[in-house]
Structure formats: structure tokens, C-alpha cells
């Protein structure tokens, strides 16, 4: 049984709870979100996973490259590295992950009340060699400009690319929603790094 750490509103641990209990009762718990970015001569590519068709929650949706729960007793850095290995097959030491901050999310559906603290990381690699695990059907990338159109301008359809570079359209409703995470946390970090050269 997957056990998570239940957090209070100040992010202090209250004890261990099962994943099912956390999601039924809306108990605050931690997850990691790892954004994978490739800087190319033509611009910045931001990678996303397409969730496997067999996933219980949001099957086939496009989502942040890596996202997963922090196990009870596990550090967020260790969780980020573990999820990178399990979901997309990248063995990345924690020193290569840049911690950007955290966000809080709440999702209420019938029989599902999820309250999460998302600890946000950035990993940069010009040519990541993905080997997706069973939870991920494929990796895609979106240019920074197209993602800005989606997140800041409300574009209903944007252009994405598969790993071979083939273009295809993705509609707004095909994405998992992480309110303001890109705009408030990831984009400022990318712009700050670009300014520093």
C-alpha cells in the first residue's frame, strides 16, 4: 500500500496516511513536478508526457514531464529523482535538478478530493534520452512560444511535436491543469536564466 505524509497548512508533517485515504478525505500531501527543458538553436523546447491509457486518473492527457507522490519518509529530492527514473527513464542526480519553489493544487471530483503541495523542479538537457515507463505512453515537446500562447493568451489549440519532430495539434481540454505553475514559477526561472546567459 502506498503511504504518503499528511501535511498541515504550514507544510509540517502530521503522520503517514494511505494514498486512498489522502484522496478521499482531501488530506494535504506532497508531490514532485519535474519540468524538462531543452535549449536548442531554434529556441526552447518544453517536454511533456502523455499519460498512459491505463492510468486511473486522467488517462491519455498531456502533463508535466514528471509528476508523482512523495512517499512517507522520503525527501522531495529523492522523490524527484525516483520519479524521473520510473516515469521517463532518466537517471538524474539531485544536483542536476533545480528546485524552483512550490504550488498548492486542489481537485474535487466525485469520490476524489486531492489536495497537493507540488514541489517544482527544472531539469535542462539539450537531448534527453527518454525511456518512458508503463505510466507514460510517449513524450512530446512544445516550443516556449506555443506554451506561452496556451498559458498566457488562452489559445485553444497549440502545435506540439512528437519525439521525432512531427507536428500535431493539441486542444486545451487535452491537458492536465496545474493553475499558474508555468506562469508564476517556471517561466520566470527560464527568463532569469536567459538573462544571466
Per-residue pLDDT 10s for the chain (197 aa) are 899 999 999 999 999 999 999 999 999 999 999 999 999 888 999 999 999 999 988 899 999 999 999 999 999 999 999 999 999 999 999 999 999 999 999 988 887 889 999 999 999 999 999 999 999 999 999 999 999 999 999 999 999 999 999 999 999 999 999 999 999 999 999 988 766 65
DSSP letter at 120 equals E
Name the pTM for this structure.
Answer: 0.95
Could you give the domains of the chain? 3-196 (3.90.79.10)
Cα dihedral 125, 130, 132, 133 sign: negative
Q: How far apart are CA 194 and CA 123, in angstroms?
A: 15
Digit-coded pLDDT (tens) for 16-33: 999 999 999 999 999 999
Whole-number pLDDT of residue 38:
97
CB 104 within 8 A of CB 7: no
Cα dihedral 175, 176, 177, 178 sign: negative
Amino acid at each position: 500500500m502506498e503511504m504518503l505524509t499528511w501535511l498541515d497548512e504550514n507544510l509540517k508533517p502530521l503522520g503517514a496516511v494511505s494514498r486512498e485515504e489522502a484522496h478521499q478525505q482531501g488530506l494535504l500531501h506532497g508531490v514532485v513536478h519535474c519540468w524538462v527543458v531543452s535549449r536548442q538553436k531554434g529556441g526552447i523546447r518544453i517536454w511533456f508526457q502523455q499519460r498512459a491509457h491505463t492510468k486511473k486518473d486522467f488517462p491519455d492527457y498531456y502533463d508535466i514531464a514528471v509528476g508523482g507522490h512523495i512517499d512517507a519518509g522520503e525527501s522531495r529530492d529523492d522523490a524527484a529523482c525516483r520519479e524521473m527514473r520510473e516515469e521517463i527513464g532518466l537517471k538524474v542526480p539531485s544536483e542536476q535538478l533545480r528546485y524552483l519553489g512550490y504550488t498548492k493544487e486542489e481537485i474535487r471530483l466525485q469520490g476524489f478530493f486531492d489536495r497537493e503541495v507540488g514541489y517544482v523542479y527544472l531539469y535542462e538537457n539539450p537531448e534527453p534520452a527518454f525511456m518512458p515507463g508503463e505510466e507514460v505512453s510517449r513524450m512530446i515537446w512544445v516550443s516556449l512560444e506555443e506554451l506561452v500562447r496556451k498559458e498566457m493568451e488562452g489559445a485553444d489549440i497549440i502545435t506540439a511535436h512528437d519525439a521525432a519532430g512531427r507536428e500535431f495539434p493539441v486542444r486545451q481540454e487535452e491537458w492536465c491543469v496545474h493553475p499558474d505553475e508555468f506562469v508564476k514559477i517556471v517561466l520566470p526561472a527560464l527568463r532569469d536564466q536567459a538573462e544571466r546567459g
